[in-house]
Structures are given as structure tokens and as C-alpha cells.
A and B are shown apart, each in its own frame.
Chain A
Amino acid sequence: MIELFVRLIRRPQGLVGVTLLALIAVACLFGQALAPYAPEKIDFLGRFRPPGWQNWLGADQFGRDILSRLMVGARSTVPMALIATFVGSAAGAIIGVGSAYLGGRTDEAIMRTNDAVMAIPGLLLALLLVSTLGNGAGNAVIAIAVAFAPGMARVTRSVALNVRNQDYVKAAIARGEGAAWIIFREMLPNVMAPIVIESTIRVSFAVMLFATLSFLGVGAQPPASEWGLMVADARQYMYQAPWGLIVPAAAIALTAIAFNLLGDGLRDALNPKDER
């Protein structure tokens, strides 16, 4: 584990990714305590105050401190994306490994249906689901998880299929091992790495999708300081107060970049090809 971490941060993208994520983690954990102002405190005189000593990153249309909202908002943005990805990945992984292990026509039927569901664009599926479940951050998380599961299932299955064809699995079957042992001890440990890498990269999509849903008004709801919602709110004032738009947009982009970098870094660090 430590060895992996060292290998990870030895690469520039791994180092940048880990550093950014550390910052984000600090914001998620201590944002509330560190924020200079209460994130929802309105200030009539401070409306559209540009960045300066009073509000380091400026203030929004209610005179709320953008830095504080950003720091507190990290908690309503990043963990949501993580949860959505985790739930979606777990569901997808179970479907994928199960389908690969079952094989044959069952596998065919599961995967064709899975592909069919994937034909509905993720955002559309999420939109429909949120409309059904009702607007809100929690429902957006569910919707993203559902939208992610088929893709994860497909990825996992292809990896699992490859693992299932490995001789050590065949050896286990020839030996007369049970299905549980083969799935959990022989196959699963060997599909974990690709799943973790893929999920890490998908977190960045989840961050963006979550922000997009909030932007479209069906995700997090005011007065939450979710970043996508902040962008949506600031958009109508973007000429008066562009900082209100640029700051949360940059936060979303940096978070997405961080997870992308981490995913790529992990992929490299876990790739046995680079080992001499």
C-alpha cells in the first residue's frame, strides 16, 4: 500500500492529483470550521462585491461570501459524487462479475439488456430518474448511481471475462472449487484494480454530472452551496460578477481533474508493464 502510494506520487500527474485531492478532502472535512463566514449569511451591502480583503473570492447576489460557500459546498458536492460512484460501481461490478461467471446465454441476455440501457444517454436517464424521484441532492445521487451502473457492469465484465479465462481460474475449476471461492478469492481480487481505476476516473464524471443536474435545477437545491448550483445561480449575473461563476466552475473542473489525474496515476502505478 505504501509502496503503491510512493509509486503514485513519483509521477507528476499522481502527485498533482493527490495534492489537489488532499486540498479537497480538507475542504470536505473542515470546510465548515475553516470558512471565514457563514455560507448562507446574506449581506445587502455586499452584493456582487468583487474579490478583495473582505471576501477573498468575492460575494454573490445575496452578498454571501463565495469562498465560504465554496468550502462548505465541497461537502455537498464531492462526497455526493463519491457515494454515487461507489454505489454505481458496486452495483455494476456485481452485475459484471456475475454475468461473466455465469457465462453463456445468461451472460448474453444480461449484457445485451445492459447495452440497451446504456443507449439512453446518462444525463437523460439521470434527468428522468430525478424527475420521477423528485428534485434534490439525494435523488440525484441515486440517479447518477443508476446511470453509472451499466457502464461499470460492462467494464467489469470484460475484465472479469479475461480473468475467468486465466489458467489459475481454470485450475480452481479443475480442482473442484466452489463458485463462491472462485468468484471471491480467485476472480474478484484480480478485477479490483481495474475497477478501482475506472471508478476513480468516473468520480470526475460524477462530479460533473452532479453539478450539471444542479445546474439544470434538479440536483441540489437552494440555498445549498453545491458548486453546480452556485454556477447556475451566478450565471445570470455573470457580467456583473463573473467571479461568482468562475470560482465554483474552477472548483468543479479542478476536482474533476484531480480524480482524472489520480485515476491515470493509479493506472500507471498499478500497471505491471512498468515494473522492471
Chain B
Amino acid sequence: MLSVTRRLFLAGTAISLVTLPRIAVADAPKRGGVLRMSLDQAASVIHPMLARVNPEYLVTELLYSNLTRLKPDMTVEPDLALSWEPNETRTEWIFKLRPGVTFHDGSPLTSEDVVASINAILDPKTASPGRTNVGPIKEVAAIDPLTVKFTLSGAYADLPVALTYLNARIVPAKVIASDLASLSTTANGTGPFKLVSYEPDRKIVVERNAVYYDPARPYLDRVELLVYPDRTAEASAMMSGEIDLLLTTTPGEYERLVKAAGVKALRTPSGQFLNINLGCDQKPFNDVRVRQALALAVDREATVGFVAGGYGTPGNDTPLNSAYHFYKNIPMKKPDVAKAKQLLAEAGYPNGIDLTLIASDRPATRTQLGVAVREMAAAAGFHINVQTMPHATYLDQVWKKGNFYVGFYNMQPTADAIFNLLYTSNATWNETRWNNSAFDAVINAARVETDEAKRTALYAKAQEMMNAEVPTVISAFFDLLAAQRSYVEGYTLHPRGSVFRLDLVSLGAGAPKRG
């Protein structure tokens, strides 16, 4: 309870805390200018409820707003909602909307728009990926034009965090009523920028929304998003000054960018990780000793080197790392071939075991992990054949069905979100089919627990359980890497990987003039 209220307090005063000090301490951000930013892949969807990848989240973040948004420290601050209050049992939440907000077409934002938007996301027909991620919402209702009430199906402390979910953008009710699909080609939001042109595989241009609810922001007149499918090419373009900011890059390019003049390389630890999913309901991984043996065969430090070029942190078979709240520092597993062999022998595989590890071709690091694990585990008796396949085929045939494959996940806003996404028995994507009721109980208890210390203890317990039973081998977390030209000001690399806040960005001295 304490933590929640403190967060609420912080959230309520966020405007003054976030924006005022900037004005007071530093020079005021310079208004105007055109920012060119590169995307690593096409933003092929601009429908805010259907976006699935980071470039698309960036575009919809520019054009739309959520009720709440996630700060770099993973706490929430107000966006369209000025304040919020739960009832005692945290089964009902009242959100107060910011007054005087208008959509790009000039119509005012009301609670009807919020209700319609949330209902649209929850509607299976919309097929929004956000449907299962915005929290256990049972009903949403408008109390008055600026007040919305959320009724939940169970107690849930993290609703304000869940509402930062990347698909939970607010769109006009009238669009939802008439033609929701039109948002695939046009945009009408309350975001800091308005859509100028949209060519999915080439260039997306947005311009400053003059009636954004914060009159000071955004500082930029225009943002041009350019698609650069090739990382090397993108880094070269950054170094030659063709682009001002890039969304993400690889370790190899990062090393080049660090040395480049006029470029500021950006790096932030994140909870993004690669893992090897083990089907705990089938042979051979239904035997915990086989899972443990594999975990002991993997050299975690080396994995960080091989797949993240050293830009990351070793994982300890739990989805949390130091970027998360409630992270529990358990002594890192060391490779132990003898022990692994012994465990394997005890499990009935004295002569080793033949396995096929499936890796999708996107991103390429999946295959790299596969290749590295194959070689590292060979000494312990795991004879692994790495099989790669196109991402689409992988999603169709392997993902959630396979017994032994490489997974890849972005950081989630909360510990609860990541555990409930992947590892509880009723997780949205229960890939490992670990189905450990003790673990489930711990997570459920933590979910409603309000005491910070008790909650910390519960999550520590959960992490220890995963570390011991190894439903999945999580050996490396990635640092997020990006870069900007030195004259770009106000950009923060967000550990979530999918929050960008270009409304805070301005161009400082030395920025090129662009038409």
C-alpha cells in the first residue's frame, strides 16, 4: 500500500517534477527543427491497437497518448489521465482525465473515447495484441466527461502500469463506431505529433501538434522516420550525419559508433533476454535433472560475449535482472561439466543425449545463441543439432508448441507482467508448460501483496524456484544500444525498449538545417 500511494503521489505531481526542473536548471530546449530518426524495420502498421514491433510503437506513441506512461525507472506518470485512485480492494479504479485535450481533428477528448478505446482493445474481433496485457479489466464506464471507472475481475495493483501498454492508446469513439480499420491508413490521436505522410517501408513523416496539451512540447517541428533495414548501413548513415537518432543497433555497430566523431552512443541495461525454452511436460525435459544439466553446461559469461558482444549481463535462469524492481541477486551458476554429465547420467542418459534446437532467423542472435549453446553443451553430452527456420514458420509451427527452442523477449514493465506472461500455469504464453502450482501460488500472492518487504520476499522466492528447477535457460540479458548525433538533446534510451518520448527531444547547437 505504501509503495502504491507513494507512486501515486509522484505520478500526480509529475508535470511539475518532470518539466519544471528542466526549465529552471538547463537552458530551455530550443524549439524547431527537423529530426531524422532511423528505424531498424518497417513500421508496417500504424493502427495503434495492432502495432507489434518497436518502430510501430514509436509511430503510435508520436500520434497517440495512453492514460498513463512509463518512466525510465519503470514507474508511471500521468498522460491523458491526470490522477487515479483505486478502491480499497483494488478491484475498482477511478481515472480523472486531463481537461482541454483535443484530438488532431479538433474534437475534444472525453471519457467516452477512453471507454470505447479500452473496449475495442478488449474486443477479440479487433485482434489487438494488447488484449491480454492491459490488466484484468471486466468493465469500463464513463462517470462524467472527465472521469472513467475501471472494474476489474480481481484485485490488481498494477493497473496504471498495465495501461501504459503499447496498444492501449486512446482513439476517438466516433472512429471506433464508424470504421476502426481506417486507423490502418489514417491517424487521429492526441499525441504530440500529427501524421503527414506514411510509406511503411520507406519514410514516415510527422509534424508538431500545435494544440498538444503541453503548450511547450514538442520542441521539434517535424520528425522524419526513415527505414534502414541494414544495421551496418544505418550506422554508417549515423556517422555521416544523415540521421540524427537511431532506434537500435548491434554490438558490432555500437563499437563503431562509440568511436565516431559527433556521435553519442547510447547504452542502457535492460531486461531484454534470449532464452532456451524447455518443454517441461515431455521427455527429456520433464526430468528436472536434464534441465539442470543443461543449465550447468552453459557458460553464461561467454554467452553474453557471443550473443551480445559483451553488451549485456549474464542471466541466472530467471527472467528478472537488475533492470527490474524485485530483482534477487542469486549466486551466478558456473559451468560444471562433470556435474552436468553426472546429472544426465542419473536421468538415464549416460552416453549423452541427441536434441534438435530450433531457432527462428529473426533476430539473428537467436541462431547465435543456438550455435554457442550447441558447442558449450557438447562437452556435457548434449549433442545438439541447431535448426533455423523463417520467423513466420517458427511462429506457426514451433512457438508455444516446440519442446526445445530459442525464445526472445522484451523487458516487461513489472515482475508480475513477465511471470504472468511466460511462466505461471495460466500464463498468456505458457511456453515451458512447467505448470508449477507452488510457483503459481507465490506469484499470485505477490500480485495482491501490498507490503513491499513481503512482496520482495515472494518475488525472491519465485526467482529461486526458477533458478533451481530451470523451466528455461536464461543465460544472457541484453543492454539496449542506440546512438544519436551529439546535438540531439533530451533523448533517453528507455530500458523497456519500446518507449521513446520524442516529445522531450530538441535540437541543440550544431544541428543541420533541414527543410
By the criterion CB–CB under 8 Å, are A135 and B305 in contact?
A: no
Contacts A62-B371, A223-B371 given; does A44 touch B305 at CB 8 Å: yes
Question: Using Cβ atoms and an 8 Å threshold, which residues of chain A touch B305?
Answer: 44, 47
By the criterion CB–CB under 8 Å, are A239 and B256 in contact?
A: yes
* Complex Cα–Cα for A188 and B501 (A): 71
Question: At the interface, yes or no: A240 with Cβ under 8 Å from chain B?
Answer: yes
By the criterion CB–CB under 8 Å, are B232 and A62 in contact?
A: no
List A residues at the B interface (Cβ < 8 Å).
40-42, 44, 47, 61-62, 131, 134-135, 217-218, 221-223, 235-240
Query: What interface size band does chain B fall in?
Result: 20 to 34
Contacts A42-B306, A135-B388, A223-B386 given; does A238 touch B393 at CB 8 Å: no
Task: Select B361's contact among A42, A44, A61, A135, beta carbons within 8 Å.
Answer: A135
Given contacts A239-B256, A240-B255, 18 further A-B contacts (CB under 8 A): A40-B374, A42-B376, A44-B299, A44-B302, A61-B368, A134-B393, A135-B389, A217-B390, A218-B390, A221-B386, A221-B388, A222-B370, A223-B374, A235-B232, A236-B252, A236-B364, A237-B252, A239-B252
Task: Select B389's contact among A62, A134, A236, beta carbons within 8 Å.
Answer: A134
Question: Using Cβ atoms and an 8 Å threshold, which residues of chain A touch B232?
Answer: 235-236, 238-239
* Complex Cα–Cα for A47 and B386 (A): 21
* Complex Cα–Cα for A45 and B232 (A): 25
Task: For B367, give the chain A residue with the smallest CB separation.
Answer: A222
Question: Using Cβ atoms and an 8 Å threshold, which residues of chain A touch B210?
Answer: none
Interface of A is mostly: loop
Interface of B is mostly: helix
A47 to chain B, nearest CB (A): 7
Task: For B370, give the chain A residue with the smallest CB separation.
Answer: A222
Contacts A40-B375, A235-B232, A236-B232 given; does A61 touch B306 at CB 8 Å: yes
Question: Using Cβ atoms and an 8 Å threshold, which residues of chain B touch A42?
Answer: 306, 371-372, 375-376
A187 to chain B, nearest CB (A): 44
Question: At the interface, yes or no: B250 with Cβ under 8 Å from chain A?
Answer: yes
Interface string of B344-373 (1 = CB under 8 A from A): 000000000000000001001001101110
B127 to chain A, nearest CB (A): 25
Across the A-B interface, give the 5 residue pairs with the lowest CB-CB distance, nearest first: A42-B375, A221-B388, A223-B371, A44-B302, A237-B252
Sample 20 A-B pairs with CB under 8 A, ordered by A number: A40-B374, A42-B371, A42-B376, A44-B305, A47-B306, A61-B306, A62-B372, A131-B390, A134-B389, A135-B388, A135-B389, A221-B387, A222-B367, A222-B370, A223-B371, A236-B250, A236-B252, A236-B253, A239-B255, A239-B256
Question: Using Cβ atoms and an 8 Å threshold, which residues of chain B touch A47?
Answer: 305-306
Question: At the interface, yes or no: B333 with Cβ under 8 Å from chain A?
Answer: no
Interface string of B232-258 (1 = CB under 8 A from A): 100000000000000000101101100
* Complex Cα–Cα for A276 and B257 (A): 65
B368 to chain A, nearest CB (A): 8
Question: At the interface, yes or no: B231 with Cβ under 8 Å from chain A?
Answer: yes
